[in-house]
Amino acid sequence: MTDCIPVITLDGPAASGKGTIASRVADALGFHYLDSGALYRIATLDALSKGIDLDDAQALSPVFEGGRILLDGRDVTTAIRAEEVSSATSRVAVVPGVRAALFALQKNAARLPGLVADGRDMGTVVFPEAPLKVFMTATARVRAERRYCQLLERGETADLEALTADLEERDRRDSQRATAPLKPAEDARLLDTSCMGIEEVVKKVLEWWDETKKLS
């Protein structure tokens, strides 16, 4: 039932700035915002806390029975962003049963007046009918440097080489998995943000949205 609900999808590799851009665009338009990566991260945190083997697809899938996304009522906002969870999430996200369990939750996020959804397969699998699909990229080095600065700002320690290697490994797993791999939808607009600032990217997406509305 998302046909008449405007949806903008923003897909791209890890740390490409999708979350920041998607929430800014959603604010500017008064739309809802879906951070689909957070769902996969919550699922992973749950599996890690239960000691489930991340290579055991059968053991992972039942964790999501009932579509539960709250982690036993515990606030896991910070915990799901830990580097250990980031890396483990791309392993959990290859499991088709996990993706199937999270599909309806994501679909249900589409509500009036509209939705901006960010992730890896928003334009290809979850909202293929979205009138505007954006695929954001930036070199692994630029993305790692952005993540490095974020971690230092938070008072954490970070190693740029290790971050770059970790991002490349996550990209490889996300792009090469059999189910819903990271790739641009055929009708996605590509945006390389390597040399762009946040405001510039937000402006570009809003311009594309204005064009899209005029065409519809």
Catalog residues that contact ligand C5P under the rule CB under 6 A: 14, 36-37, 40-41, 89-90, 93, 119-122, 170, 174
DSSP structure class, residue 124: I
Q: Which is nearer to ligand C5P, 46 or 174 (CB)?
A: 174
Distance CA 120, CA 138 (A): 14
> In angstroms, what is the minimal distance from the CB of 201 to ligand C5P?
16
- The backbone torsions φ and ψ at residue 66, rounded to the nearest 5 degrees and listed phi first, read 85, 0
| 210 membership: H or E segment, kind and range | helix 198-215
CB 14 within 8 A of CB 120: no
C-alpha distances (whole Å) from 94 to each of 8, 17, 158, 174, 192 are 24, 22, 27, 7, 26
Return left, alpha or beta for 71; rule: phi > 0 is left, psi -120 to 50 is alpha, else beta. beta
By DSSP bridging, strand 132-137 and strand 7-11 are parallel
> In angstroms, what is the minimal distance from the CB of 211 to ligand C5P?
25
Q: Which is nearer to ligand C5P, 108 or 207 (CB)?
A: 108
Q: Which is nearer to ligand C5P, 84 or 207 (CB)?
A: 84
C-alpha distances (whole Å) from 208 to each of 2, 26, 155 are 20, 14, 37
> In angstroms, what is the minimal distance from the CB of 117 to ligand C5P?
8
> In angstroms, what is the minimal distance from the CB of 87 to ligand C5P?
8
> In angstroms, what is the minimal distance from the CB of 104 to ligand C5P?
14
Q: Which is nearer to ligand C5P, 77 or 216 (CB)?
A: 77
Shortest-Cβ-distance residue relative to ligand C5P? 37
Q: Where are the beta strands (DSSP E) in 69-141?
A: 115-119, 132-137
Q: Which is nearer to ligand C5P, 94 or 215 (CB)?
A: 94
Q: Which is nearer to ligand C5P, 6 or 119 (CB)?
A: 119
> In angstroms, what is the minimal distance from the CB of 165 to ligand C5P?
15
